[in-house]
Structure 1
């Protein structure tokens, strides 16, 4: 038995060496695509793409090589960095069945949080999507609005307690993380992680907060997960994992175990309550209006062929948490950072919020909140310029052709209007690059200007048919793998901002703020640190 892992490891090493030789010696139609030189024989451009301060490399990649460029991945694999709108439309929408997230992405997500929306593709993904779409409807978000205001009201009290005697430095990203987790907890799972008004420690909450940073510290994990199945059954792979002498990997294992264990406890309790007639849910957090409770009720009513398994439903809980907490909390932190740098915009937003509160009350209703033009403009502009997730990955499932909106000048002198794509080709779909492309958005595309949304968008944007479900942006992408919870996220952001900006003034503190390039961009006090932190000076706002 002990020889099996050695034999498997040897086979994997030989396979990787074969890939290295094949990728460097076998000709590919992608060879003539322009792009930066490889950073190393083994790692290609991957370190340059994903180290914490890789913004300059990405800007160089975008500005120098344009909307379609070749980059080098591990072991000489040739990938494409794409932000051409016509190409994105093909990948996300028109020809979406020719692509999926890729074996590495799907396998790593499936192993860590289960076969939910982020860990499935094809027929299984479509089945889950069909069940989940109604759960995230506008009507459901309207039902959640009072709950959201209740949670954010506790955040307001917590900050007010700290600044009532005068301006004070506050770790804003910490508070945004706690709030987003509680909103996803109560609104998504019907579970309270954090009372907000007091310091608290919850094992589940701590694990959730640590999940994304733990994975960010080991980006190579996703590239090795496809090989894990070769090491035998799950129990044996777990035995081998326990032997790995890397402290961070053991910590990551504990985080995943904690999330899965507590998620299952919550799920079993909810399922039992629904089977007993929902009586317990009416007295629970969220009163049974949370996404998971609604999903469970709908799943029970669904036909056998449409019904999701317990494993699939349970996996959605991890998906809600992983996809919904850091993305929204870091987007909110980015907005507050930008407002601190632009006091005139902050004042204008506060004036709009005060006027709305005088008309509708302290808690602006769902429809009226969504209709506030300047609040909406601030959110859209931030999600345009600084999308929390900069890159989305895809892999071609078949030989196909990628159409382009403008000719591509290749290194051999040829000019392409479409690119032949071999089966297995991997893509980085550069969301921020498309959102900030000057040819579409104008010369001020790299500037944060909320007012651009208060007038008609450039004709080039309208004509490009950008494949997005939100505001002509690819921030939430489009097609069968678009962000199903974007309305949930939008409601979170607007409830938090309407409460905080109307009550507090945010200014820069003496502490530096650096935004790190990662799976989800996050702030620290230096690029050497991996601890999320963003300190702003907060004071009571005058009416």
Structure 2
């Protein structure tokens, strides 16, 4: 009897697995009429191409399609690559609960960060976001300005002590400095915790861990995509046991990074919780004096009704999520902006003049920062052409019809006005493709031109109705999973650029910089796997200390 029962379970399990993974190979799909590139192989489809750190040419080739392209997933699965604005609105706004985060994304983030915003779905995600949304209000951002200025001035002083007083350029790894600064900003303003005084040449262990996260995750991306459900099996203790013994260099490297992030997140949470329990005097002695976002969140959580309150493990999960999402994306966006300014000295000088004319002191207030048109244009253009995240993935939870802004010609020659998308289809959201679409932004869409934001944009931009939450761009996504901290990120970029450009000049290093396609793009030098972006830095001749 028991043997028969076990045989039945095995047969059902194998049947489910075969149906889950191979039914698309044998069942004809409406997606087959959607044009797209040929598969690299049956095993990988186009997956290795879209996940390749050097896959920029493949991503660019997808932009030549009319807003949507069929991709081949692993083992004969079908995927869609989407950047048509009407289709994007359906995916991230109108039908966002049908196009949920892909299984591999959720399970990976759950392992890496815990049950935070990046690893929850549906009502669970909405509950977390409901409590977190007020924390990122404009009113709170205004109160963060003194912290932003203080950290920025420490960065300024640190770089000044490392450049030549005679004005000769000195090579510095600006990616490391941007990462350290972003971590300290999210630490002080976000968590009421200081990671790094920006004094020594050695970054905090947490900064090193976060900067190594994307390269480490990149080594395991293909593995996680091919085995998306493995991380859901068993208890956390069992999964930990498996990971510790998994014979894969990338997995072990990622485990070490995640361990550092998790250990420090728990330490921060316990410190904040203890201070709040001890009362206002203990809170006032902490970094940020209780005005940081995490203190605000903890108070709001304590005051929330029982059904709205987040459990302790989810608060800890938010800490790791805040740090990774707030540090890596913004620091890399700052790094690429400095690189672009170095390559375009006329833009750098124009921006510096605007900054110096607007303010003669050491600190910058909120109203002044948001009133500088060229600074805003430079930030918008960098985030448009060089969005830190190029693509995101969704997975349909049921059959759905995807509308298009204009018909496309199918493989059989017929015109397609909408696409029937079957359940369990992975949809790649082309954030960068949308930002660089010539149909939306014009023939110069691929060029970095801050001036485009100083005059009326093409009518096609407004007509497209791109569903992003920021400047007709998809950089910060949109809908219920839009980047919750995008105002924090914008403010950070503007404060740091103002403080750096008012004191220093930046020119390119003679070393070759390569930007790697990853979950968050990152720069490396001459084939080295270590994230790095050396630049030549000198005191600005008009600086009072020059």
TM-score by length of 2: 0.94
1:97 aligned counterpart, secondary structure: coil
Q: Which of residues 266, 283, 286 in structure 2 aligns to 1:284?
A: 286
Q: 1:250: how far off?
A: 2.1
Q: 1:203: how far off?
A: 3.4
Q: Equivalent residue for 1:29?
A: 30
Q: Equivalent residue for 2:501?
A: 501
1:81 aligned counterpart, secondary structure: strand
Is residue 107 of structure 1 aligned with residue 107 of structure 2? yes
What does the per-residue CA deviation read over 1:273-318, in whole Å, with 9 as the maximum and x for residues that have no partner?
1122232221111111111111001111111121111111111001
Q: Which of residues 224, 227, 231 in structure 2 aligns to 1:228?
A: 231
Q: Equivalent residue for 2:351?
A: 349
Q: 1:222: how far off?
A: 3.0
Q: Equivalent residue for 1:43?
A: 44
Contact 2:22 2:77 (8 Å CA) reproduced: no
Quickly say closer, same or farther: Cα 1:333–1:121, change in 2 above 3 A: same
Contact 1:19 1:75 (8 Å CA) reproduced: no
What does the per-residue CA deviation read over 1:375-431, in whole Å, with 9 as the maximum and x for residues that have no partner?
000000111111000111111121111110010211122211111111111111101
TM-score by length of 1: 0.94
2:262 aligned counterpart, secondary structure: helix
Contact 1:113 1:315 (8 Å CA) reproduced: yes
Mapping 1:459-470, distance limit 5 Å: 459-470=459-470
Q: 1:269: how far off?
A: 1.6
Alignment partners' CA distance in 1, 2:285 and 2:537: 36
Q: 1:107: how far off?
A: 1.2
Quickly say closer, same or farther: Cα 1:21–1:417, change in 2 above 3 A: same
Alignment partners' CA distance in 2, 1:239 and 1:75: 29
Alignment partners' CA distance in 2, 1:9 and 1:168: 65
Alignment partners' CA distance in 1, 2:231 and 2:138: 41
1:239 aligned counterpart, secondary structure: helix
Is residue 273 of structure 1 aligned with residue 275 of structure 2? yes
Quickly say closer, same or farther: Cα 1:244–1:128, change in 2 above 3 A: same
Q: Equivalent residue for 2:155?
A: 155
Mapping 1:416-431, distance limit 5 Å: 416-431=416-431
Q: Equivalent residue for 1:327?
A: 329
Gap runs ≥5 in structure 2: 1-8
2:80 aligned counterpart, secondary structure: strand
Q: Equivalent residue for 1:130?
A: 130
Contact 2:163 2:537 (8 Å CA) reproduced: yes
2:535 aligned counterpart, secondary structure: strand
What does the per-residue CA deviation read over 1:64-114, in whole Å, with 9 as the maximum and x for residues that have no partner?
x23110111121211100000000111111222222112111111112211
1:331 aligned counterpart, secondary structure: helix
Alignment partners' CA distance in 1, 2:451 and 2:385: 13
Q: Equivalent residue for 2:6?
A: none
Gap runs ≥5 in structure 1: 1-7
Q: Equivalent residue for 1:4?
A: none
Contact 1:173 1:533 (8 Å CA) reproduced: yes
1:511 aligned counterpart, secondary structure: coil
Alignment partners' CA distance in 1, 2:17 and 2:77: 11
Contact 1:188 1:292 (8 Å CA) reproduced: yes
Contact 2:47 2:74 (8 Å CA) reproduced: yes
Is residue 75 of structure 1 aligned with residue 78 of structure 2? no
Mapping 1:102-501, distance limit 5 Å: 102-165=102-165, 166-200=168-202, 202-223=204-225, 224-230=227-233, 232-358=234-360, 361-501=361-501
What does the per-residue CA deviation read over 1:7-40, in whole Å, with 9 as the maximum and x for residues that have no partner?
x999988866655542322111111111111001
Alignment partners' CA distance in 1, 2:476 and 2:242: 38
What does the per-residue CA deviation read over 1:249-287, in whole Å, with 9 as the maximum and x for residues that have no partner?
223222222221221121012112112223222111111
Count the aligned residue pairs: 532
Contact 1:502 1:541 (8 Å CA) reproduced: yes
